Structure 1
Amino acid sequence: DMVGLVIWGTSAMRTHGDDIAQVFSLLGVKPIWQEESRRITGLEVIPLAELGRPRIDVTVRISGFFRDAFPNLIELIDEAVQLVASLDESPEDNMVVRHLKEDKSDKEPGEQESADQTQAQGNPALYRIFGSKPGTYGAGILGAIDERNWETVQDLAEVYTAWGGYAYTRQDFGVHARTEFRRRFSQIVVAAKNQDNREHDIFDSDDYMQYHGGMIATVRALTGSNPQQFFGDSSDPTRARVRKLEDEARRVFRTRVVNPKWIDSMKRHGYKGAFELSATVDYMFGYDATAQVIEDWMYENVTESYVLDRETQEFFQQSNPWALRDIVERLLEAIERGMWENPPPDMKEKLQQMFLDLEADLEARQEGPNA
C-alpha cells in the first residue's frame, strides 16, 4: 500500500534528484521540462494504460539539510501527491485515493480534528513529507542507543516520531503532525534507502541506522511486523541495483567489517583507527536494534576479529583501550537484550571477564603509578 523512502540532501545534490525521480515514478507522474532553461515548469500524469500498474503511495522522511537546501523539491513532491489524489481513479488503481477514502471511513461521525490538524493550512490526509522540527536536525535514535535509554522497539519508535513528526507541504512548513505521521507509517509495507556512492556504507555512519533503521522500527512498533526492507545502490549508474537490506548488511560485513586488510589499515591510524572499529560495532548494533539485520554468526565473527584476536587486542591496549572496552560492553548488551540470541556457551563469560579486566586497567591508568 505504501512505500517509505528516506531522502537526504547530499545525495540529491550528487545525483541531481534520483530519489525525487523515484517518488514520481511510484506515483505515476513525470516532470514537464522547459527545453531552453532545462527547468521543471509543472508535472504531468502518466496514464494508467501507459503506467501498466496501480499508482503507489509514498511517504518520505527527509533530512534537515534536504529541508533547508531544497524547499522547491518539497513543494514539487507535495504537488505530485495532490495531483495524484485529485484523479478520478478507482482505489484499486490509485493507492493515494485509497488511503484518502480509508482516512474518511476511519473517522467517526462528529469526530473533532486532532490537535495536529488544527495547525494545518493544507489537508493533513495528504501529508507525505515528514522531517525534524524547523531549525533542528537528526532522527534522535543515536542518543537513545548510545545512552541505552530504551527497552522496546516502541521506545525507539516514540523517539523517531518525536523527532520526525513534522509535516512539510506547500501550505504547511514543519507543522506538528505526529498523528498523521503514525497513520502514514502504519501503512508502509516497503522501507527503502538509496545510496549513490561507495565512500561510506551502512555500518560506517549512524545516519543509516537512524533514518532507515528508525523508519523500520517505527513500522514494526505500529504494525507488529517489519516492512520489506530494501537498499538501492546506484554507485555505478550503469549497473544500478536493489538489494534486500539483510543482503546489503552481509555484503558490507564480509567486504569491510571483518576484512583483515581493512582492520590492518585501521591499525595504522592508532587511536582514531581504534575508534572507527568501535563505531562500526555501535552502528551494527544500532541497525540490529532498529531493523533486526545482524545475525548471530556476524556477532561471533566480529567478536573473534576485534576482541579475541591477540594482535588486535594488543593494538587496542597500546592505542585506545577505551575503544576495546566499549566494544566488549556493546557485545554484552547485544547478548543481554537477546539480539545475539545464541552465543557460544562460554562467550558471555569471556566477555564479562574481559570487561572487568579492562575496567580495572583503565582505572589503574587513571589513578597513575603512584596511586
Structure 2
Amino acid sequence: IDVRVIPIKELGRPRVDVVIQTSGQLRDIAASRLFLLQKAMDLVAETKDGNTPNQIALGRVEAERVLLEHGVPPEQARKLSGKRIFGGLNGAYGTGIQEMVESGDRWEKESEIAEVYMNNMGAIYGDEDLWGETAKGIFEAALQNTDAVVQPRQSNTWGALSLDHVYEFMGGLTLSVRHVTGKDPEGYFTDLRNRRRVKTQEIKQAIGIEARTTILNPTYVREQLKEGAGAADAIDETIRNTYAWNVMKPSAIDKELWDALYDMYVVDKHQLGTVDFFEQNNPAALQDLTASMMETIRKGYWQATPEQKQTIAQLHAESLAKAGAGCSGMVCDNAKLRKMIQEQLTPEQQREYTATLDKALKVTSQSDQKQQVLSKDSDKAQGRKQSSSSTSAEDQDSLSTSEVVVIGGVVLVFILVLSILYSRRKKRTK
C-alpha cells in the first residue's frame, strides 16, 4: 500500500543506492510496485542519518553532474538525477542485442553492444509523469557507481546458461556497467527457488554448477541423447549462450570450460556418440555449436590450441558437406568467421565448404526475393480482397469479444444458480 523509511539504527547497515532494470512484463502488470520503489528511493534520498553518509543522496549528486556534462539543463538534470528504474524503449520487451551478439561480425568492440543495450533499455519507469520518457545520458548517469549486478532466480526450469534472456538482460547490464565505469561489476543470483533457504550465488559459480551438472555431466548427456532433435537444439543453445556470456562478462567463463565442452562434443571423450547423435538428429545444431566455438576463438575469448581450432573447423565443414548448411547467424551470416574456418581446411575442403555455403546463401537470397514479390502482390490485391470471407483481425477481435460475453454470461448464470440454491437452503434451515 505504501512505504516508510526504516531508521538507520533499526536497519543496522548502510543504505544502498540501487538501479532497477525492469522487465517488460513486470512493467506492464505491476506499475504500482514500480511507483512504490521509486517513492522509497526518493524518501531515503531526503533522509538524514546523522554522521552516516547517505549513498542515495550522493548518487544523485553524481548523476546530476553526468547529466549536466551531457548538456541537460540544470533544472531538468536535478529532476532526473534521482530516477533509478529503467526498462524497454517505447514499451518494447527485448534489448536488441541478441542477434547482434550472435552474429559476431556485426560488432568489433564490446562498447558497441553496450551502447545498443543502453539506448534500448534506458526509458524511465517508476514515475507516473515521466513514464516511458528518455533523456540523453540518464541511464549512463544512474549506472555511474554500480559495483554489482544482481539477478533474482525463482525457477528450476532455467539457469544462467540454458536461457538466453539471462545473458541478454543481466549480461547486457553487466557489459553496460563495464562500459560506463571501466570496471567489471560483481555478478550475483539471488536464489529464491527455496523460499525457506534463500541464498546468494556468484555468477561464475552458478555457471560452473550448471555446466558441470548438465551439459558436461556424462549421465545427463547420455539421457539427453535419447531425446532427439529437441535435445540437440537445447545443447546448442546452451553452448551459444556460453559464448554470449563470454562477451558479456569474460571473467565468468574460463578456458577450462571451453576445453571441457570441446572434449565432450567435438572429440567425444566419454564415447557417448555425441557427434553421431547430432549428425543423425540435428546437423544444423552441430554446425551452430561448432561455429559458436570458432567465434569464441576468433573473438579472442578462448585461447584454443591450433589442434582444437583445426578439429572444430573440420567437423563444422564436414557437417555442411554432408547435410547442407543450416543457416543460423553464426553459420551463414558471419563473413569473418567463414574466412577463419576456411583457413583451417585443406584446399579440397575449402572448395566444398565454399560451394555449400554459396548454394545455401543463393537459396536464401532467392527465397527473400520471392517473399518480397509476394508481399508486393499481396499489397496490390489488398483492395480486391477486402470483401473476402477470410477472417480479419477485426473479425478475430469480435470473435474474442463474443467469447468473453458468452463466458461472462455463463459465470453470471452460475453465480445466480448458486445464490438461488443458497437462498433455498437457508430457508430450509430456518
Where on the TM-score scale, by shorter chain, does this alignment land: which range? 0.7 to 0.9
Contact 1:266 1:273 in 2 (8 A): yes
Contact 2:67 2:136 in 1 (8 A): no
* CA distance in structure 2 between the partners assigned to 1:270 and 1:239 by the alignment: 36
Contact 1:192 1:230 in 2 (8 A): yes
* CA distance in structure 1 between the partners assigned to 2:324 and 2:238 by the alignment: 25
1:177-192 counterparts in 2 under 5 A? 177-192=135-150
Flag the structure with higher strand content.
1
Contact 1:145 1:286 in 2 (8 A): yes
* CA distance in structure 1 between the partners assigned to 2:230 and 2:190 by the alignment: 30
Cα gap change, 1:178/1:244 in structure 2, threshold over 3 Å: closer, same or farther?
Answer: farther
Say whether residues 1:150 and 2:107 are aligned partners. yes
Say whether residues 1:77 and 2:28 are aligned partners. no
SS in 2 for 1:193: strand
Aligned twin of 2:193: 235
Aligned twin of 1:97: 57
Flag the structure with higher helix content.
2
Aligned twin of 2:86: 130
Say whether residues 1:200 and 2:162 are aligned partners. no
Structure 1 portions without partners, runs of 5+:
1-39
Letter in structure 2 aligned against 1:347: Q
* CA distance in structure 1 between the partners assigned to 2:298 and 2:72 by the alignment: 43
Aligned twin of 1:340: 302
* CA distance in structure 1 between the partners assigned to 2:246 and 2:43 by the alignment: 38
Root-mean-square deviation (Å): 2.5
Aligned twin of 2:8: 48
Aligned twin of 2:27: 67
Contact 1:165 1:178 in 2 (8 A): no
* CA distance in structure 1 between the partners assigned to 2:309 and 2:51 by the alignment: 53
Aligned twin of 2:95: 139
Q: TM-score, normalised by structure 1?
A: 0.81
Aligned twin of 1:214: 172
Say whether residues 1:302 and 2:261 are aligned partners. yes
Give the drift of 1:68.
0.4
Contact 2:122 2:139 in 1 (8 A): yes
Residue range with higher mean Cα deviation, 141-150 or 330-339: 141-150
Letter in structure 1 aligned against 2:297: I
Aligned twin of 1:57: 17
Cα gap change, 1:245/1:91 in structure 2, threshold over 3 Å: closer, same or farther?
Answer: farther
Say whether residues 1:324 and 2:286 are aligned partners. yes
SS in 1 for 2:133: strand
Letter in structure 1 aligned against 2:156: R
* CA distance in structure 1 between the partners assigned to 2:138 and 2:86 by the alignment: 10
Letter in structure 1 aligned against 2:102: D
* CA distance in structure 2 between the partners assigned to 1:208 and 1:106 by the alignment: 29
Give the drift of 1:284.
1.1
* CA distance in structure 1 between the partners assigned to 2:325 and 2:45 by the alignment: 66
Contact 1:231 1:244 in 2 (8 A): yes
Q: Deviations over 1:243-263 (max 9, x none)?
A: 211111111111112112322
Contact 2:153 2:189 in 1 (8 A): yes
Aligned twin of 2:209: 251
Contact 2:63 2:142 in 1 (8 A): no
Q: TM-score, normalised by structure 2?
A: 0.70
Give the drift of 1:305.
1.1
% same residue: 26
Give the drift of 1:103.
4.0
Give the drift of 1:138.
1.3
Contact 1:266 1:276 in 2 (8 A): no
Cα gap change, 1:106/1:275 in structure 2, threshold over 3 Å: closer, same or farther?
Answer: closer
* CA distance in structure 1 between the partners assigned to 2:246 and 2:322 by the alignment: 30
Aligned twin of 1:279: 237
SS in 1 for 2:26: helix
Aligned twin of 1:17: none
* CA distance in structure 2 between the partners assigned to 1:331 and 1:364 by the alignment: 17
Give the drift of 1:134.
3.4
Give the drift of 1:178.
4.7
* CA distance in structure 1 between the partners assigned to 2:97 and 2:182 by the alignment: 19
Contact 2:8 2:49 in 1 (8 A): no
Q: Deviations over 1:41-73 (max 9, x none)?
A: x21111111112221111011111111010111
* CA distance in structure 2 between the partners assigned to 1:199 and 1:88 by the alignment: 44
Q: Deviations over 1:92-127 (max 9, x none)?
A: 531111122334556769x95269x96x9x921111
Contact 2:161 2:210 in 1 (8 A): yes
Give the drift of 1:345.
4.1
Contact 2:63 2:144 in 1 (8 A): no
Radius of gyration: which is bigger? 2
Letter in structure 1 aligned against 2:316: F
